[in-house]
A and B are shown apart, each in its own frame.
Chain A
Amino acid sequence: MNARVLAVLLRAGTGEKAVLALPLIAFGIVTALVLTVVGGAQSFWTWTDEYAPVYQALAAIALVLLIVPLMNLGGAAARLSARRRDERLSTLRLLGVTPLGVGVATVIESMIVAAAGAVAGVVVHLALTPLIGLIPFRGTALGVEAIMLSPFSVLAVVGGVLLVAAASAVLGLRRVIISPLGVRLRTTVSTAHWFRAIIAVSVLALVFVLVTVFPSVAGLAATIAVLALLFAVSLAVLNVIGPWVLKVAAGRQLRKAEHADRLLAARLVLDSPKAAWRQVSGIAMASFMAVFAGTGVSLMNVMNSGDTTSADAALAADMRTGLVITLVASFLMVAASVGVNQAAAVLDQQELHRSLHRLGVPLAIVDSARRRAIMSPLLVTAIGSATCAGVLVFPLLGIALVTAPESLLTIALVLAVGIGIVWMSTRATRPLLARSFEMV
């Protein structure tokens, strides 16, 4: 592929600015969140007292819990960036442009968009730093200096975001390279094999055993660090099993669907269970965190009612603060992920929506179908992930804390907020859908 073809590929087409803005915003959010979380966590590494390792280990847990879904959102943004070129790229493949040429164009474009988003994210992070510095740990505000990252760290984060963008673009466009006709005609049905379930359940069982065994054979800091790793593995496993679970659930809904919107919603999920999972995978992490937060509240009540030192009480309060911060970050990611994906889907299907409008299909049916295609997988994911987290937390804290009223209430509240945010994200994109229906 020569430079002229590359230039044509990279040029934004008419009406593509909105589509271009979506992944850019997503990359901005990812960068700002990573910088903020890493900045907050680095302040703990300056402490040297006996509690420092506990804080550092907890910060590590928060980081790994956020990194997996952050990479997911970054990947989704990169795929969106690449997808808007799907048609043009697959046409070029049909015209004989080499797979390498298609790959180069995709990676370059995704990285340009990611770079612009990352720069915006750095600006947002810098603007937020004074506010983040006010958050108290151990009874005093963190301070701007403690959480301000070095230029090298900022560059490393931006580099990481660009790497995610490049890798996701390559993976996302692999199917275009393998089967150009498939994408042009949209014949490729995304599959989620049951074999994923077997692998995932096996790994989760292994994690359960390790979580049960490890605390009795290692020190506190080492245990927390290992647990952080095990929970990160669990989240990654949920990413493997998630699409398959959604496929099974949507298959059942399809068989029972009596109304047009339910049929469409089930088919939208079945068309690509992986895409459906990507949209809601953030809630899997939020559910995980909800269980941590819920049992954490109960644990703090137990700690506060006993004979505890002021440092222990401060640790309990700080754990709560950390959980709230992590939850806020995860909700932001979920809202961004759903909003970006939904807006992109609406823009992608403008022509189809226009034709449905001409046929007299009511906007309410299409809107209901797409929202069901989000909310139904969301509920399955939220409940499934919370159950999974409950099972993993159980050996650490015992069933009494997991099922304590404060735990359950906190879990329910957090999940309700998360689900509410996603619902609002889907509502926010309704005007965009309505605009498609107004066009003739």
Chain B
Amino acid sequence: MNTTVLDARSLTKSYGTTRALAGVDLTIHRGESVAIMGASGSGKTTLLHVLAGIISPDSGTVSFQPSVGQAVELAGLGESARSRLRRERFGFVFQQGLLIPEITAVENVALASMINGVKRAQATAHAASWLAALGLAGMEDRRIGELSGGQAQRVAIARAQATGAELVFADEPTGALDSHTSQDVMNALLWSTTGQGRTLLVVTHDADVAARCSRIVSVRDGQIISSAVTA
């Protein structure tokens, strides 16, 4: 539980004159679920983007320690190397799901594996098994527009898992859902990540969602003001 999977030191990031991150230190341990909370504009989404290698910090380091192999320093990687790392090692769940509307649910999940070089038949079978595990059996061939918001989010969760991601980043994964569906989606997200020994990092403003995680990190004005293990 105490093995470090992600270690960030002295992160800063500014957009023009706005300071989004002002010296953030954060360590994420393997198998834990961490909720990053904060008001709008507090810097929580920027922090997630820097930790996931979507953007580079102005200064500071982000070290990713995979379960197998050497640690990788994200801030020192070029764009294509960071893209590859995100594609192969990380999973993402966004607020709107942001799935490709023209393709089916199972194809959305299988696509990431296909891009990583897995054969279509194998990727599709694996994707279908994840969809079934998340309660979407029989919906494989539906287009995203034919699914409810909660179902679409579960497809996004399956997509985040299908490549075997060790670390899943979720940005307001329940932001567009009602409270009942929110609970279902959080159940699915936690089961598919920490339930399988993986690590989850969630950005949320929802206290109920945060309470489901093993640790809550609060951010204000680009700085971490508290980090507390939940009961």
Contacts and interface: CB of A to CB of B under 8 A. Distances in A.
B107 A267 contact: yes
**Which residue, B55, B86, B94, B102, has most C-beta atoms of chain A within 10 A?**
B102
A440 B92 contact: no
A376 B146 CA distance: 28
Contacts of B84: 360
A361 B80 CA distance: 10
B24 to A, nearest CB: 18
A259 B107 CA distance: 12
A127 B219 CA distance: 61
Please tell me the size bucket of the interface on A.
20 to 34
Interface in A29-87: none
Interface string A356-381: 11111110010000000000000000
Interface stretch (B25-33, B112-120, B185-193, B195-203): B112-120
A263 B107 contact: yes
Contacts of A100: none
Given A185-B145, A263-B114, A440-B55, A360 B90 contact: yes
Nearest to B80: A362
Given A352-B100, A358-B54, A360-B84, A258 B111 contact: no
Contacts of B144: 186
Interface residues of B, number: 32
B126 interface: no
A257 interface: yes
Contacts of A189: 143
Contacts of B120: 257-258, 263
Nearest to B86: A360
A351 B111 CA distance: 18
B55 A359 contact: no
Q: Interface of chain A, helix or strand or loop or mixed? A: helix
B164 interface: no
B98 A352 contact: yes
B145 A186 contact: yes
A351 B98 contact: yes
A94 to B, nearest CB: 15
Contacts of A258: 119-120
B79 to A, nearest CB: 9
Nearest to B92: A359
A98 interface: no
A187 interface: yes
A440 B103 CA distance: 23
B54 A440 contact: yes
B85 interface: yes
Interface in B38-70: 49, 52, 54-55
Interface in A325-364: 351-352, 355-362
A268 B143 CA distance: 12
A358 B86 contact: yes
Given A264-B103, A267-B102, A267-B107, A361 B115 contact: yes
A264 B110 CA distance: 12
Nearest to B83: A360
Contacts of A406: none
A6 to B, nearest CB: 28
A352 B84 CA distance: 18
Nearest to A259: B114
Contacts of B92: 355, 358-359
Interface string A247-267: 000000000011110011001
Contacts of A352: 98, 100-101
Contacts of A357: 54, 83
A437 to B, nearest CB: 9
B102 A268 contact: yes
B184 interface: no
Contacts of A257: 120
Interface string A6-21: 0000000000000000
Nearest to A361: B115
12 contacts: A189-B143, A263-B107, A267-B103, A352-B98, A352-B101, A355-B94, A358-B86, A360-B86, A360-B90, A362-B83, A362-B87, A365-B115
The 4 closest A-B pairs by CB, nearest first: A360-B87, A360-B86, A355-B98, A187-B145
